[in-house]
Chains A and B, each alone.
Chain A
C-alpha cells in the first residue's frame, strides 16, 4: 500500500509474535496520553507517482525560466552543463551513500573528494582544500573565523563591492560571535589600497577581496592589498568566481591565505538558489584551522593505495564545542558535479569557457554603448558581467526585455538608491550573438 514500506500486515504479526508483543501501540505506551496527537495529521492522503507528476508539472508550470534567455548573474550563472554530469551524480552508489565514515566501502566517495581537493587547489593555486562547504557566502564567513582563530584578532574588513548576500551572511555570522565587521567604501567600484589603509590596524584579523567583484569589475590593486594585509599580520581572504580562474590570476598567484567561492558555476544548475556548494582552499600552514571534512591518501594493510577522512580532530564529532566549525553534512554531491565538470572541460576547456564568456560580454557591452542610451555604471575593466544605467528606471528596461523572452539582469538598486536605474548584466559562453543582438534591439527601442 505504501511502496516505500516493505513489511506487510502479516510480517507485522509475525514480527510482533517473535518478540512477544501484541501490537505496535505497545511500543508507544511511554508517551504521555496528553502528548499524543489524537487525530490525523492535517495533510492530504497519499498520492501515486502519476498524481504527483501532474501536480508537480502544474506547480512548475507557474514558473517561467526554462523558456527565457538568461542574462542574470550575481554569482549564479546559466552555463552549458555537460550531459555526463547528470549521469555520474545519478549513480545511486554515489547519491544514496552516507558520509564516508567506513572507508573500506566508501573508496568511491573518498577518492572523489581527494580528486576534488586536487582540482580545487590547482584552480585556486592554493596548497590545500576541504571537501566543500554550504555555499559561497558561508564560505567567506568560515574563512573569516579561520582568520580570527589564527590571528586572535576580532575584526574583519570587507569592501562594499562584495556580493550583498555575502555581506549579509557575514554580518550575521560575525555578529553572533561578537566579532567586528568593518565595511570599507570603494572608489568607483573597486577596492583600493588607500581605502584599506584607513581602516586596517593591528586589530585586524582578515581582509576580504572579491574578484571579479559584485559589479563584475576586475580588481586592480590586489597585490598592494595583499601586501598591506600581510604587513598588518592579518590574513587575506579572496573570494573568486571559479570559472574566471581559467584565465585570471589565482588567489595563490596573489599570495592570498584563503581562497573561497561559490561552486554553482562549475556544472551545477540554477535550481532557484541551491543546492550549490562553497569551496575553501588555503595555504598549508592553515590546514589545521580549516572547517569541514578533508580526505587524505594512505595505504591499506596490503600496501594498496586508499583514502580516508583525515585530520578529523578539527571536527565537531570529536572536538565538540572546540571544533573549527559545526559543519557536518556539506554539499558532497555538488562537489562531485563540479569535479566532473572540471574534468569534462579540462585545462583547455575551462580557459575557453572563461575566454568566451568575457568576449561575449564585451561584445554585448560595446553594442549597448554604441547603439543605445545606456552608459556604463563604472567605466573600468570587467570580466563577464557589467552594470549599465540610463535615465529610465531599471524595472522598465527589464520589463521590455521580458516581453521578448529575455531575463535582462539584476536591478542594482539592491546595492543602494544611487543605482535605481542600473542593471547588472551577465553574459556566459551559453549566450549567442543572436540573443545579444535582440537584447540590444530591445534597449534601442526604449524611450
Chain B
C-alpha cells in the first residue's frame, strides 16, 4: 500500500470534467421561466471538478489503502467474513434485474417476484421458519422489526403490559439498541461463566411483563446453548416469545435449525452467512423469519402466488406497516439467492462443518499461547481471554495491532464484554489450512515478541499506510468535512 494523501477536493480544477451528459434536445427554457425565483440557489453546490483519469486514480489509490477479503485473512468474530463469490456480483448486474423500477406493475417484474418467493422458501427451509420478509435492510433493522412483531403480537392479544425484553449480557450491542427502537425496555441477565444462559436468573426475570427473550445460538462465545429447549419452554410458558439473532447461523446450516429449537422469530445477516459483500459497512440485508402465528404482523407488501404468477400484496390489516421504502435490498438478497444455488443443500452443510473444523483447529493450536475463554470444542468461532500470562503480559489491543504487521486483519477485540481481554476469532470455511497455519504462526510469534521485545508489539503497527491515529484528538475537536484553506 503506497503513500497517497490527497483529498479529491485538492485535485479540483474548474475547467475539468470527468463525465458529460448529452446536449439538451428540447427548447432550452430558463429555469426562471417556470420556477419562482425564490426557489433557486444562487450558485451550484461546491462539487469538485476533475478529469476522468484523476477520478479513477484517486479512488484506485484510496482502494490501495484498504484491506478487503480479497486482500487477505479476515477472522473477525461474529462477522463471518467469508469469501464473496464473483458470480454473485455478475448476476446482480444483469440488466434484466438492475433495470427494473420498484413501482412497475407486478406483471412486468415476475422474475423479481419469483426470486423473492424462492428465496423466502429457501431461507425458511434453512431456519425452520414458516415465512420470511426480505424488507429489513441490515441485521439491526431485522432485529428492530422482530421486536416490533413481538410487540404487535402481544398488543393484538390485548396484552399491552409486556414491555420487557430479556437480553443476556453477552449479546451484540445492537440487541439492546434495537429494543429501544421498538419502544421496549431491556432487562439484562448475567450469563454463566461459560456463556451459557443461567436458567435460575431467567426464571426470576420471566413474568407477565416480559415480551420475549433475544438469544443467539451458538452464543457469542461460540458455544451451543444446550439448554435451549428448557429456555424455550420457560419463555413460552410465561407467555413470551423467543427471538433468534442470526449472526451465528454459519455454524449450523443443515445441522440444526432455530425453528426446531423453539424460536418464534429469526433474523439472518445475508452479508454474513450468505456471502453478500460487506461493502466497507453495507449495504447488507437482514431478512426476518417467523412462525405461523406471527405471519399476520409481517410488514407489507409480501409476495403472493396467484395462479401461474406472483403479485405483491398489501392485504394484511394487522401488519406493522413498512420499515423501508420498497422491498429491502433486492440487489443484495439476489446475491444470497445465487450463493444458495451454488452451494445446494450439501454445500451449505459442508460450509458449516468446515467453518467449525477451521475454528476448532485454530483454537486448539493456540491453546498454549493464549487463554481459552472456555476449554470445550467450539462452533464456528471462539474467544481467547488474552495472552497466556505465564509467558508474557500484553494487552489484547496491542496484539491486534501487531497482527496488522503480519498482514492479517485482527480478530474482534474486547467482545463479548463478559470475557476479559477478549479476542474473538472466526476463520470461516473459505480459508485454507495454509492460511490458518500462517495466522497461527503469526499469533504465536507475537506472544514470543511480547516476551522478548514488548516495545515492538506495543508500538505496532509499523508497516501500515498510517501509524496509530489520534482518536482522542478526533473526538475532542471533530473535523468531519473538508474546508478550503483560507
Contacts and interface: CB of A to CB of B under 8 A. Distances in A.
Contacts of B103: 72, 74, 76, 410
A111 interface: yes
B99 A12 contact: no
B271 A329 contact: yes
B471 A308 contact: yes
Given A70-B101, A114-B482, A305 B5 contact: yes
Contacts, number: 666
A59 B59 contact: no
Contacts of A163: 325
Interface in A306-343: 306-308, 310-312, 316-323, 325-334, 336, 340, 342-343
A269 B98 contact: yes
A433 B26 contact: yes
A46 B279 CA distance: 26
Interface string B276-317: 011111111000000000000001000000000000000000
A118 interface: yes
Nearest to A275: B283
A272 B432 CA distance: 37
Nearest to B89: A90
Contacts of B378: 27
B48 A343 contact: yes
Contact of A245 (B41, B105, B320): B41
A271 interface: yes
A184 interface: no
Given A274-B330, A323-B177, A347-B44, A63 B100 contact: yes
Interface in A41-69: 41-49, 52-53, 55-57, 59-66, 68
B111 A317 contact: no
Contact of B351 (A2, A27, A66): A2
Given A35-B261, A122-B47, A274 B324 contact: yes
A333 B41 contact: no
B199 interface: no
B473 A137 contact: no
B44 A246 contact: yes
A334 B265 CA distance: 29
Nearest to A245: B45
A296 B479 contact: yes
Nearest to A77: B101
Contacts of A5: 347, 350-351, 354, 429-430
B332 A115 contact: no
A363 B95 CA distance: 29
B361 A15 contact: yes
A169 B271 CA distance: 23
Contacts of A265: none
Given A105-B67, A272-B112, A311-B475, A18 B361 contact: yes
Given A95-B277, A248-B41, A351-B44, A136 B325 contact: yes
Contacts of A59: 111, 114-115
B283 A334 contact: yes
B21 to A, nearest CB: 5
Given A2-B351, A36-B255, A123-B45, A65 B177 contact: no
B24 to A, nearest CB: 5
A99 B433 CA distance: 26
Contact of A104 (B38, B261, B379, B401): B401
A154 to B, nearest CB: 12
Interface stretch (A170-178, A194-202, A226-234, A439-447): A170-178
A135 B465 contact: no
A305 B34 CA distance: 47
A32 B98 contact: no
A182 interface: no
B470 A11 contact: no
Nearest to A58: B111
Contacts of B180: 321-323, 326
Contacts of A317: 173-174
A344 B39 CA distance: 26
Contacts of B327: 272-274
B141 to A, nearest CB: 6
Given A63-B110, A273-B325, A297 B479 contact: yes
B268 to A, nearest CB: 13
B415 to A, nearest CB: 8
Contacts of A123: 45, 47
A26 interface: yes
Contacts of B177: 316, 319-321, 323, 325-326
B365 A19 contact: yes
Contacts of A106: 65-67, 280
A56 B354 CA distance: 28
A395 B179 CA distance: 43
Given A95-B68, A138-B324, A270 B36 contact: no
B485 interface: no
Contact of A100 (B17, B39, B58, B281): B281
Contact of A42 (B85, B115, B125, B364): B125
Nearest to A310: B474
Contacts of B264: none
A294 B97 CA distance: 32
A119 interface: yes
A381 B94 contact: no
Q: Which 3 A-B pairs have the closest CB atoms?
A: A273-B326, A60-B96, A108-B66
29 contacts: A7-B354, A7-B358, A24-B354, A40-B346, A43-B344, A44-B341, A46-B343, A65-B101, A66-B95, A70-B101, A94-B68, A97-B280, A105-B1, A108-B66, A112-B280, A115-B7, A132-B282, A166-B325, A172-B299, A247-B44, A273-B327, A274-B324, A276-B325, A297-B480, A306-B469, A325-B177, A328-B139, A333-B283, A429-B22
Given A306-B469, A323-B177, 6 more contacts: A15-B357, A35-B229, A93-B67, A104-B464, A123-B45, A331-B137
